[in-house]
Structure 1
Amino acid sequence: MSFWKKLFGGGGDESSAGAGASGPHEDYKGFTIRAALVPAGSEYQLSGTIEKEIDGVMKRHDFVRADRFSSKDEAQSFTLAKGRQIIDEQGDAVFGQSWPAKPN
């Protein structure tokens, strides 16, 4: 099965069941960080989303890192920590634009 099917749960076989399933979430500095369960063989890959409503529009940033963990709990804990780090470093710019937009 291809990497993308494993990552996004395509293919419909037993090994992909639960791929990308939602794990715990955390509110942090006005953002919501959600850990995703992404099986990678017998391990779990660090993967999650960062969301925030800006000007009435829900913005979302997906992130996946190469880090792998043997337990779900450990993967989810590190995913939430990575999400906090991304927010601390990038803030609203994580969505590809600085908010609020500066006038010309």
Structure 2
Amino acid sequence: MGILSGLKGLFSGSETTPEPAEEAVEYKGFSIVPAPIKDAGQFRVAATITKGQDDTLQTHNFIRSDLIGSHSQCVEITLRKAKLTIDQLGEAIFQ
């Protein structure tokens, strides 16, 4: 799969299927829920990052272009990339 066709799949939605969500992982006050997206026999790195509760709940949908062959490996990579994003952006992730 080429870069352009991979990007097209991200926006067209025709070849992607969300997998059932994984359990939430708490990290530095944020909650990360890995949600790999099945895409052409592989899995795309994706998650939902949240912080707060009820009226103060903030949500960021995290989708990357990375395609990984195995579901479990995709979950690991998703968590690593989400934690790195939290470390780099902190609260600014919700802006």
TM-score bracket, shorter-length normalisation: 0.7 to 0.9
**Residues 24 and 76, structure 1, Cα contact 8 Å, conserved in 2:** no
Partner of residue 84, structure 2? 85
Gaps (5+ residues) in structure 1?
A: 8-15, 97-104
Partner of residue 21, structure 1? 20
**SS of residue matched to 1:90:** helix
Deviation at 1:6, TM superposition (A): 4.6
Gaps (5+ residues) in structure 2?
A: 1-8
Q: For residues 24-63 of structure 1, give each alpha carbon's deviation from its aligned partner in whole angstroms, at most 9, with x where no partner exists.
A: 3210000001100200111000011110017941100001
Task: Give the whole-Å Cα distance in 2 for the aligned partners of 1:69 and 1:32.
Answer: 22
Task: Point out the structure with the larger helix share.
Answer: 2
CA RMSD of aligned residues (A): 2.2
TM, length-normalised to structure 2: 0.79
**SS of residue matched to 1:61:** strand
TM, length-normalised to structure 1: 0.73
In terms of mean alpha carbon deviation, does 65-74 or 49-58 score higher?
A: 49-58
Q: Which amino acid aligns with 2:88?
A: E
**Runs of 4+ residues deviating >4 angstroms:** none
Identity of aligned residues (%): 27
**SS of residue matched to 1:22:** coil
Report the structure number with the largest CA radius of gyration: 1
